[in-house]
Structure 1
């Protein structure tokens, strides 16, 4: 079984830390990660983002759909950042139909989308697996997740994460999970801000959570995104709060980011 596109939106991460002399004990102590101003910005204001029509196995309609979602995300975050005094720059989107190298790295086996900080752009793989059943909320949430990585980039959390020291693969994977689960939570908060304008029901949200619970590290065995139940929990936590305040994965117990 292939990982859900929602969960496979893994930012291209390579931590070039071979020169680090000492590892830092947990919990994470960098204030850019644990006490970022992002957490004090309040709820993301409600705005409209009606979903565009999308067809099964139809790349052009998927491009229009996701571009529309990105436009909503850019407008929403621009307004939120202005109110909160945070930096803003638009994210961009691109599409491929076959895996290829991006941002200097090979395309991952389970990757449906990936964000590149230096380009402020994410690429979505529109293959048969992604487009076979595009009517659930997976594609919408996938774009919101990748935009969460964009927010991490704008608030300098991505840089702090890239350079945070670690000792061994276990600590490295936990840091990657904290980063990915934060993007998932931010994605949930974004979806909540648009929810009233979506022609969706609670059943649609519950279905997305069920899809999420059935994916994750249980399937990839990589240990770098989190168990399905934890991914779903952070997604739902962001959605219920509608605020980045709910998304401080860097101070969460290890059991919550396993």
Structure 2
């Protein structure tokens, strides 16, 4: 990905090394856990013998991270500073994409702020630890990410590459688009607010966020910043975090009734739909008869 030299977004808060932790209570809607956040939750639940659905329900209805302590940050490294620059450039590129898309629809895009944190962070959705992974909080319209997550992405989940990292950000920004347009609430009303199941509101919301990430990828390619192999990196990342693959790896069996993000094939398919069309309307998972 040709990101160096690109515009850097001003909508970034760097809370690394500052603790970022404080008392708080859940408000303004639960944390919208991205696909990679689910990976961490499933592995933690499997290792400690805790039902992952219980962990997910805590994200929606209570403070996050109680009983889990991450080590305190001792500062930032040169590598982290480079990653901070990368995140700022990717966020700026999503801003360019969605500003143009919203303008075509006669609307003005209001970009989210992105918070870099280390260890734990306090958001309008409650206190979250690095174990949650990247997430979007509709209560304050912010995307949160601990940069150490990218090490996990490459080493543990075998999804390397800067475009895979950019996909993570674009997916979380996709949740912001849903918040702005009311798509999240519409799908929750239409599907009864179900938080798990192959045809649940949660799955449709996550697949739409993947599709929106694909729309960003289409426009990024139009701006000539996508290099050969980049798309494959994003598709590999999307495939690596399908519910079926994660469940097979963690518990040896697949339980569709507990799906929250969609299968590997579905995540790849919806990302590709957005990427190939570049069309916001192509991401209508609300009315899709087949996911």
Tell me the TM-score normalized by structure 1. 0.69
Q: Whole-Å Cα distance in 1 between the matches of residues 243 and 179 of structure 2?
A: 24
**Aligned match of 2:260 in 224, 228, 237?**
224
Q: What RMSD, in angstroms, separates the aligned Cα atoms of the two structures?
A: 3.4
Q: 1:59 to 1:167 in 2, by over 3 A?
A: closer
Counterpart in the other structure of 1:129: 152
Measure, in 2, the Cα distance between the counterparts of 1:241 and 1:178. Answer: 19
Q: Which runs of 5+ in 1 are unaligned?
A: 16-55
Q: Which one of the candidate residues 76, 83, 98 is aligned to 1:77?
A: 98
Alignment match of 2:115 (pick from 75, 83, 94):
94
> Does the 8 Å CA contact 1:187/1:235 hold for their aligned counterparts?
yes
Secondary structure of the structure 2 residue equivalent to 1:123: strand
The answer for the alignment partner of 1:120 in structure 2 is 141
Show the counterpart of 1:68: 89
* CA 245–66 in structure 1, closer or farther in 2 if over 3 Å, else same: same
Q: Which residue of 2 aligns with 1:138?
A: 164
Match of 1:215 among 241, 244, 254: 241
Deviation at 1:180, TM superposition (A): 0.6
Q: Deviation string for 1:182-234 (max 9, x for gaps)?
A: 01001101111011421511x33124313322322135445101111111111
1:8 aligns with 2:36: yes
CA distance in 1, matches of 2:266, 2:231: 16
Q: Which residue of 1 aligns with 2:212?
A: 186
The aligned counterpart of 1:39 is none
Aligned-pair CA distance for 1:94: 0.8
TM-score w.r.t. length of structure 2: 0.62
Unaligned runs of 5+ in 2: 1-32, 39-55, 62-76, 248-257
Residue matched to 2:227: 200
Equivalent residues of 2:202, 2:260 under 8 A apart: yes
Structure 2 residue 280 is the aligned partner of structure 1 residue 250: no
Q: Which of residues 277, 282, 286 is equivalent to 1:241?
A: 277
- The Cα shift of 1:135 comes to 3.2
Q: How many residues align?
A: 211
How far off its partner does 1:76 sit? 2.4
TM-aligned CA deviation for residue 112 of structure 1: 2.7
* SS, match of residue 35 in structure 2: coil
2:183 aligned residue (140, 152, 157): 157
In the alignment, what sits opposite 2:192?
166
Name which structure has the greater RCO, CA cutoff 8 Å, separation 6+: 1
Match of 1:22 in 2: none
- Distance change >3 Å, CA 90–CA 214, structure 1 → 2: closer
